[in-house]
Amino acid sequence: MHIKLMFISFCAIAVSCASSGSKPENDSTGVGSDTTLNVAANPSSQLEVNPLSGYFLKNTITVNDSLTFWLIDNQASFDSLFGIAKTMNNTIDQPDFGTHIVVAATMPPTFYGTQIQLESASSGNADNNATLRFVATANPNRGSASTVPLWLGAVPKTGKSTFLLYTGDHLTKTITTQQ
């Protein structure tokens, strides 16, 4: 008798929960459901950047600004700016100018082993502009020889018309190009 009473109580609870006014997920009546849409535009997305290694800035090029940027879209311009730094152990990354544009960042010569790094790269979904943010870090101790910091990266040609190039949070240069 005790089990029968527990069974009846369980069924009563189950029936009251099932008829509490909630609708199944596939109910299309809309009664009691939230009709607001949580749609947010994605203002930007990750930009694919392939770093290029094995190059140096030719000594015929003088850099005066604290951080100088170039966009290079052909092999002749690339070869006029950069030389190949080939050693026995390294590999040289060759840019494909048919499908990519090269972004270059450099600084004047320094004795502090400064390295330029790409902090972030994004593409604006609404305007298709590219935003690249760079940082430059240096060693605290002065070295015996100066070097010219250089960062090179290849970005796919996807119709980007404007490149916004930042040093940290400061907009350093805006370059508009045709791809």
Q: What is the mean pLDDT of the chain?
A: 80
**Is residue 25 over pLDDT 60?**
no
DSSP H helices in 56-134: 75-81
Q: Where are the domains of the chain?
A: 44-176
- pLDDT in the model for residue 18: 45
The C-alpha atoms of residue 132 and residue 142 are separated, in whole angstroms, by 29
Mean pLDDT of 21-38: 46
Segment 78-115, tens digit of pLDDT? 999 999 998 888 889 999 999 999 999 999 999 999 99
| Higher-confidence position of 37 and 115 | 115
Distance, CA of 90 to CA of 85 (rounded, Å): 9
